[in-house]
Amino acid sequence: MKISTKGRYALRLMVDLAEHDGSFVTLKDAAERQGISKKYLEQIVPTLNKANLLLANRGFQGGYRLARAPEQYTVGEILRLTEGSVAPVACLEGDTVNCDRAAFCPTLPVWQGLQKVIDEYLDGITLRDVVDGYRKSGADQYSI
């Protein structure tokens, strides 16, 4: 499993919005703060918007903000939305095991265990956790 730029940048955008406490944020401002191309964010936002993770406002005070409180979003939710899957092996992508050898595969339990650990870890971290961890560290910048 390797998280793509799309997943990493989506998470950084969501954290940036969480840091702005319900204010509408322009993509230009978020892009500058995060060191991400505005064009790239424009490609990511429709996915987040379609899933009702964001609220959009047009006009003078326009921009985007979170649709829910930061503690109601998990890192896992955001990554699964943008990545499609965080499965460590192809046979575990989707709701059912997708492998002809599943009934007698000696390694399947290994991959299922790893999937469980990944899911529990990513679903156990909220945007609030990321924001609070960042603020506690006192760092000027962070990297995801």
Range of the domain at 132: 5-85+126-137
Looking at the domain assignment, is residue 114 inside a domain?
A: no
b/e map of 91-117 (b: 16 or more CB within 10 Å)?
bbeeeeeeeeeeeeeeebeebbeebee
pLDDT tens digits for the chain (144 residues)? Answer: 789 999 999 999 999 999 998 899 999 999 999 999 999 999 999 999 999 999 999 888 789 999 999 999 999 999 999 998 888 888 888 777 778 888 888 999 999 999 999 999 999 999 999 999 855 555 444 455
Of the candidates 69, 67, 66, 81, the residue with the CA atom closest to the CA atom of residue 13: 66
CATH number at residue 32: 1.10.10.10
Count of the separate structural domains present in the chain: 1
The pTM (predicted TM-score) of the whole model is 0.86
Q: How far apart are CA 22 and CA 75, in angstroms?
A: 19
Looking at the domain assignment, is residue 63 inside a domain?
A: yes
